[in-house]
Amino acid sequence: EDKVVQSPLSLVVHEGDTVTLNCSYEVTNFRSLLWYKQEKKAPTFLFMLTSSGIEKKSGRLSSILDKKELFSILNITATQTGDSAIYLCAVSSGGYQKVTFGIGTKLQVIP
Amino acid sequence: GAVVSQHPSRVICKSGTSVKIECRSLDFQATTMFWYRQFPKQSLMLMATSNEGSKATYEQGVEKDKFLINHASLTLSTLTVTSAHPEDSSFYICSASETGTDTQYFGPGTRLTVL
């Protein structure tokens, strides 16, 4: 059974702090790893990672994948209150576009 | 960017009625669409994967006769919750992948409340 494990489950930081969210996985026939941000409604896409060691960056967010150790991290620098959300990690595997989601990390950024 | 819409955004119905939820990819063609359910404070749970022109693949524990999925075109999939009961009340979210890619783009979700 494919598994995606995220840590920590919950995190409270002050504005301006840097956070690192972790995602480890065990899947058959890995295709890609995806990060999403979920606020009040449906998730919004952040990154898709397919190759090890190549950092994807978007503003204050960045992510990297390690396919040997089977994990990914999502970094957020200079956090703002608008970064408060649940961050979901998902792994696409197999040949049928099957995607397994982790339970998410709830990030709260306080002023 | 890729946009997925869902309709309706919220529905309240009586127990025993059927509810249809539509999921549309607005600016791309989606060979595959996914239906998820999310209960409060829980993660997304994949219900089924639907491919245009073929039968949907349901996850273990999801009743295919209760949750009817139709993916009639490359831009539209529908989920019908038949004979809905209060325990079916949940947040239903669809997502769509552009043909040949893994990235899923999510619709805004439909909040279903069954009285």
How near does any CA of chain B get to the CA of A26, in Å? 17
- Across the interface, whether the CB atoms of B104 and A99 are under 8 A apart is answered yes
Average model confidence (pLDDT) across chain B: 90
Separation of alpha carbons B86 and B84, rounded Å: 7
Separation of alpha carbons B1 and B101, rounded Å: 14
How near does any CA of chain B get to the CA of A54, in Å? 18
How near does any CA of chain A get to the CA of B66, in Å? 22
Interior angle at CA A53, CA A52 and CA A59, nearest 5: 115
CB atoms within 10 A of CB B82: 15
Q: What sections of chain A are H helices per DSSP?
A: none
HSE-CB of B69 using CA atoms within 13 angstroms: 26
How would residue A28 be classed by pLDDT, with cut points 50, 70 and 90? confident
Chain B: residue whose CA lies nearest to A5: B43
List the single residue in A32, A98, A101 with the smallest CB-CB distance to B49.
A98
Q: Minimum mean pLDDT among A60-64, A71-75, A96-100, B28-32: which range? A: A96-100
- In this prediction, what percent of chain A has a pLDDT beyond 70? 97
| Overall average pLDDT of the B97-107 stretch | 81
**Nearest alpha-carbon partner for A90 in B62, B105, B1, B111:** B105
Question: What's the pLDDT at A25?
Answer: 96
| Interface test mutation site (partner A, options B54, B102, B106, B110, max chain A beta carbons within 10 A) | B102
Is A96's pLDDT higher than 60? no
Across A68-77, A85-94, B30-39, which has the greatest mean pLDDT? A68-77
Check if B67 contacts A (Cβ < 8 Å).
no
